[in-house]
Amino acid sequence: MTGPSAVLAALDGSHVLAVPRDTDLLPLARAWFPAALWAREPLSAAQAAAARPMTGARFRGIAVAPVRTAGALSLDGAVEVVGPYPVDAAEARALTLPPQDSDLYALPAAPVTGATLAPELVTGWATAVARRTAGGILPAARDRTVVPDPASAVDLTLWSAVPLSGADVLPLVRPALAGSRLTPPVPPSGGAAEGFALTATYEYDGALQLGCSRSPDVPVVLSTLDWREHGPWAYRLTWQPPDPHELDQAHPSPLHVIARQRVTPSIARVVATLWRAAGGTVVDAGGFVVPHEELDARARAR
């Protein structure tokens, strides 16, 4: 490790995205930017040493520590995310980032010539990645640290090719959504209503809303999957807490957090049930695919 001061010097003038060590950043980039690719593959210290072996008489007997080579992940052919720069848990803590072994990546803090992506979109993606991976962000100004709460993203959507009726879904989800009732769906402008809406209301935890509709707009990440793995029918499960304003607060009240902890397993159980009935792909609120193993883990959470 090179130490936090040396790392920040190397990343001076850039926003810094921190993710847990060995996180595969490419699929997270393609979830928002399908054309993303490694313009320069990162090399581990061992790979860098093997790629540039020292030869010649003057190097005999000299042990030189290999240096890891950062890669360049191109998001659109112009905007590049450079890294990883590894730091250990103590160094991450010194940078006011989550105290875990981490990889740091540099993001441009100013508009890039030839870029097709707005800077706000890139920083929005970085924030979503930090939330998804339990990482953090150091803005270029170094005046604060942004550490999104991974537990705050509870809403899930199942994208399926199979439309289920409300009458079929209600008995399937009622074990996880006690007291749920069908409500009339809102029809689109100038057309008849499609799908259904279902709501379960709780005295202390707010309401869980399950809506099913056919959508012409699907998350970008689905374009990276086989077309048979998803469809246009969106089964959206969203949580409406007692105080909706707390959804936008970085540090919500303990009552909000407790309610969120209680509803999160129910959301996962409902979506898992729908997936078993209709198939498809689950996408979280950040636009990333949620694998079945993670869905099961959320459903078992207490």
Spatial distance between the Cα atoms of 182 and 167, rounded to a whole number of angstroms: 8
Position 64 scores a pLDDT of 36
User: Quick one: 164 and 191 in the same domain?
Assistant: yes
User: Quick one: 103 and 244 in the same domain?
Assistant: no
**Burial classification of residue 106, based on how many CB atoms lie within 10 Å of its CB (0-12 exposed, 13-18 middle, 19 or more buried):** buried
Last residue of a domain, one of 145, 176, 208: 145
Q: How confident is the model at residue 9 (pLDDT cuts 50, 70, 90)?
A: confident
For residues 42 and 67, the model is more confident at 42
User: Quick one: 113 and 23 in the same domain?
Assistant: yes
Residues of the chain with pLDDT > 90, as a percent, come to: 75
User: Quick one: 137 and 174 in the same domain?
Assistant: no
User: Quick one: 139 and 155 in the same domain?
Assistant: no
Q: CB of 35 within 8 A of CB of 77? A: yes
User: Quick one: 164 and 113 in the same domain?
Assistant: no
Q: What is the DSSP string of 95-130?
A: TTS-SS-EEEEEE-SSPPTT--S-HHHHHHHHHHHH
Provide the residue range defining the domain that includes 211. Answer: 151-300
Last residue of a domain, one of 125, 145, 165: 145
Q: Which amino acid is at 5?
A: S
Is the pLDDT reported for residue 245 higher than 50? Answer: yes
pLDDT 10s digits, 101-136: 999 999 999 889 999 999 999 999 999 999 999 999
Strand order through the sheet with 102-107: 37-40, 71-74, 80-87, 102-107, 15-20, 136-138
Least confident of 9-13, 29-33, 181-185, 281-285: 181-185
Spatial distance between the Cα atoms of 200 and 39, rounded to a whole number of angstroms: 48
Question: Which two structure tokens, joined as six digits, stand for 253?
Answer: 């009240």
Last residue of a domain, one of 108, 129, 145: 145
Position 59 scores a pLDDT of 40
Strand order through the sheet with 233-240: 181-183, 196-202, 206-214, 233-240, 156-160, 281-284
Structural domain count of the chain = 2
Q: CB of 153 within 8 A of CB of 129? A: no
